[in-house]
């Protein structure tokens, strides 16, 4: 079974400050990990994904995340927050499609990022 826990439903930072959104997962198979962003009343947009290889993954809009197997974590960071980063962020996990695994995504509950001027 797979699950995702996002620590903190709301995170508030000042513009220019470091953004850190936490995600921990559990998975009985090697995980694929994703971060999605959602702006109000819109669909989700992929920020970045980890499949295999390099554990530090760079995404769009200056975001990056590091896969730490020993900590079962996939935290999302951005060195300097911008007002336009205010949105809801979702971490998700899946297994490799095939061998009886449908590759369905399991989403965390989401973290709302507020950026203060």
Mark the segment that binds another protein (CB under 8 A) among 11-19, 57-65, 72-80, 97-105.
Answer: 97-105
Q: Per CB under 8 A, which region of 12-20, 29-37, 54-62, 67-75 contacts another protein?
A: 29-37
Contact 9, 110 (CB under 8 A): yes
What binding mask, one character per residue, do residues 58-87 give for another protein by CB under 8 A, x or -? Answer: ------------------------------
109: left (phi over 0), alpha (psi -120 to 50) or beta: alpha
Q: Is the dihedral of CA 41, 13, 5, 94 positive or negative?
A: positive
Taking the complex as a whole, how short is the minimal distance between the CB of residue 79 and another protein, in angstroms? 25
Q: Phi first, then psi: what are they for 62, rounded to 5°?
A: 80, 5
* Segment 5 to 24, residues that bind another protein, using CB under 8 A: 9
Which CB atom, from 73 or from 94, has the smaller least distance to another protein?
94
The answer to whether the CB of 79 falls within 8 A of the CB of 18 is yes
Q: Identify the residue whose tokens are 């989401």.
A: 110
Task: Name the site residues for another protein (rule: CB under 8 A).
Answer: 9, 32, 34, 36, 41-46, 49, 51-52, 90, 94, 96-98, 102-105, 107-110
């Amino acid at each position: 079974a797979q699950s995702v826990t996002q620590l903190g439903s709301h995170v508030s930072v000042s513009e220019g400050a470091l953004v850190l959104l936490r995600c921990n997962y559990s998975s009985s198979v090697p995980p694929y990990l994703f971060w999605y962003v959602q702006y109000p009343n819109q669909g989700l947009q992929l920020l970045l994904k980890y499949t295999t290889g390099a554990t530090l993954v760079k995404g769009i809009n200056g975001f990056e995340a590091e896969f730490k197997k020993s900590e079962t974590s996939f935290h999302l960071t951005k060195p300097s927050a911008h007002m336009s980063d205010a949105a809801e962020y979702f971490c998700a996990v899946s297994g490799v499609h095939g061998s009886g695994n449908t590759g369905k995504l399991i989403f965390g509950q989401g973290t709302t990022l507020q950026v203060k001027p």
